[in-house]
Amino acid sequence: DAGVIQSPRHEVTEMGQEVTLRCKPISGHDYLFWYRQTMMRGLELLIYFNNNVPIDDSGMPEDRFSAKMPNASFSTLKIQPSEPRDSAVYFCASSFLAGAHEQYFGPGTRLTVT
Amino acid sequence: QKEVEQNSGPLSVPEGAIASLNCTYSDRVSQSFFWYRQYSGKSPELIMSIYSNGDKEDGRFTAQLNKASQYVSLLIRDSQPSDSATYLCAVTTYSSASKIIFGSGTRLSIRP
């Protein structure tokens, strides 16, 4: 298996623009997680899905952020409009079982908003 | 109080010595505990998981859990330069076993 795939790997955009991050989880994994990592706040869980259904989005910072999982092999995280404080590395992770099982992380998308 | 606390480091350890990384958590009924390793510019990868009190050994790594003290640690024996990385402690919460809460990580540096 290729592992968790994320695209793009790097994204530089201007404030106010829409940003869409993409993730393909490992085939057969029922759970998909979106994280954000910054030096100041560390690794934060934004939202997670189980069988394509959003279960907990309490970590989504505000209405500018939205996430979808239209099918078992694809998820998006959208920021509209983007702001400089959104600059971070965004990771997608998937797991076969939640919590008590290993989460496999993608390579991350480094987002810079100028 | 943060849910998962770690000393940010850096922790500098000579090659061949034992590196000891510590973590405390606030949710008394947390049930699953993990150590992830993250190299600079890379994504986290799981190196140890532990679910019951006591020690769990895997090669050069030993995870130790003390639920009464709400404390989990990671020992790395015979430290190698390749062990230089940030180590993230992670805990599942009682409110949702599906969520893993990560600590801010301890940066470990192994000096030759």
For residue range B16-27, what is the model confidence (pLDDT) as tens digits? 999 999 999 998
Highest mean pLDDT among A38-42, B26-30, B77-81: B77-81
Residue B60's identity, in one-letter code, is R
The pLDDT confidence band at residue B2, using thresholds 50, 70 and 90, is: confident
Instruction: Tell me the per-residue pLDDT of A12-53, one tens digit each, with 9 for 90 and over.
Output: 999 999 999 999 999 999 999 999 999 988 999 999 999 999
Residues of B in contact with A43 (CB under 8 A): 44, 88, 102, 105
Of A42, A48, A91, the CB nearest to B98: A48
Given a cut of 70, whether residue A1 has pLDDT beyond it is: no
Of A42, A99, A108, the CB nearest to B98: A99
Given a cut of 80, whether residue A98 has pLDDT beyond it is: no
Q: What is the 3-state secondary structure (H, E, C) of B41-89?
A: CCCCEEEEEECCCEEEEECCEEEEEECCCCEEEEEECCCCHHHCEEEEE
Residues of A in contact with B42 (CB under 8 A): 107
Q: Do B32 and A99 count as a contact with CB atoms less than 8 A apart? A: yes
Residues of A in contact with B88 (CB under 8 A): 43
Specify whether the CB–CB gap between A23 and A6 falls below 8 A: yes
Task: Write down the pLDDT at residue B3.
Answer: 87
Q: Do A105 and B88 count as a contact with CB atoms less than 8 A apart? A: no
Q: Do B96 and A99 count as a contact with CB atoms less than 8 A apart? A: yes
Residues of A in contact with B29 (CB under 8 A): none
The pLDDT confidence band at residue A99, using thresholds 50, 70 and 90, is: low
Give the C-alpha separation, A112 to A98, whole Å.
30
Average pLDDT of the segment spanning B73-78: 98
Q: Which among B103, B105, B112 has a CA at the least distance from the CA of B40?
A: B105
Given a cut of 90, whether residue B9 has pLDDT beyond it is: no
Residues of A in contact with B44 (CB under 8 A): 43, 91, 105
Chain B residues with CB under 8 Å of a chain A CB are: 31-32, 42-46, 49, 51, 88, 92, 96-105
